[in-house]
Amino acid sequence: MLSKSQARAFFLGGTGVFSLAFLALTYDSHRQVPHLTNEGNLTPQVIAGKEIWEDNNCMGCHTLFGEGAYYAPELTKVVERRGKDWMRLFLKDPQAMYPGERKMVQYDFTDEEIEEIIAFFEWCGKVDLNGFPADPPLGRVAAPVVTTGKTDVPKPQMFSTICAACHSVGGEGGNVGPALDLVGAKMERDAMKAWISDPQKIKPGTAMPQIPMTPEQLDEIVDYLLSLSENH
């Protein structure tokens, strides 16, 4: 059994050791802040995007770093999840991307403001948050059965940046819309071009948005989708 002097020494010694450990860990945490927070990439464009985020009270609907409202999607990794091209189209006209569904306010952002917002979200996505936000636990379970997606026709850039946000090919992409591996076996070229060009005209109220694209881009996507079925 400890004497009073021994107990006092044990208490003071333990307090000193743990105090030093606490100070060392605190110093180490502060030392890592610039790297973990991506501080070196805080450009004027990123700062301008943050001001737009705050001025429009985006946190009233969305969460960022887990903070905010839960009415609309979490946006910490939105650039990684959706891609810049998709975001440009959506921020320009939210309703066009989700006809009759999306409740996002039309803010009439300028092209410069859109780029600033995207720069801010890109910065957010590169902050080290120790794995936050986690992948949806049912994301892989809910994915449809697909083919390999192999084809000699190169995948169009627009498909990779826009279409893949909702559709998958070869198991890669979104699962909001159906997998497109075998869509060529279900639709002929003219029907596919008409559908992609103006989905609302073919099926009013459909969730498929009308994506602005050139005739060349449309042909590239149709050629690619048709080739998937030919190689299956």
Give the pLDDT score at 107. 93
- pLDDT, tens digit, for every residue of 1-44? 778 887 788 788 889 888 888 887 887 777 766 666 677 888 99
Q: Count CA within 13 A, CB hemisphere, residue 198.
A: 4
Give all strands (DSSP E) within 76-193, no chain letters. Answer: 168-169, 172-173
- Range 96-111 burial, b when 16+ CB lie within 10 A, else e: bbebeebebeeeebee
Q: Residue 53 forms beta bridges with which residues?
A: none
- pLDDT, tens digit, for every residue of 63-122? 999 899 988 889 999 998 888 988 999 999 888 777 667 778 899 999 999 999 999 999
Give the pLDDT score at 141. 45
- Coil, strand or helix: which one is 134? coil
Place of tokens 């986690």: 134
Domain 157-230 falls in which CATH fold? Cytochrome Bc1 Complex; Chain D, domain 2 (1.10.760)
Equal CATH topology for 39-125 and 157-230: yes
User: Is pLDDT at 146 greater than 80 in this prediction?
Assistant: no
User: Is pLDDT at 182 greater than 70 in this prediction?
Assistant: yes
Domains in the chain: boundaries: 39-125, 157-230
Domain 39-125 falls in which CATH fold? Cytochrome Bc1 Complex; Chain D, domain 2 (1.10.760)
Q: What's the pTM?
A: 0.68
Place of tokens 């003071």: 12
- pLDDT, tens digit, for every residue of 213-224? 999 999 999 999
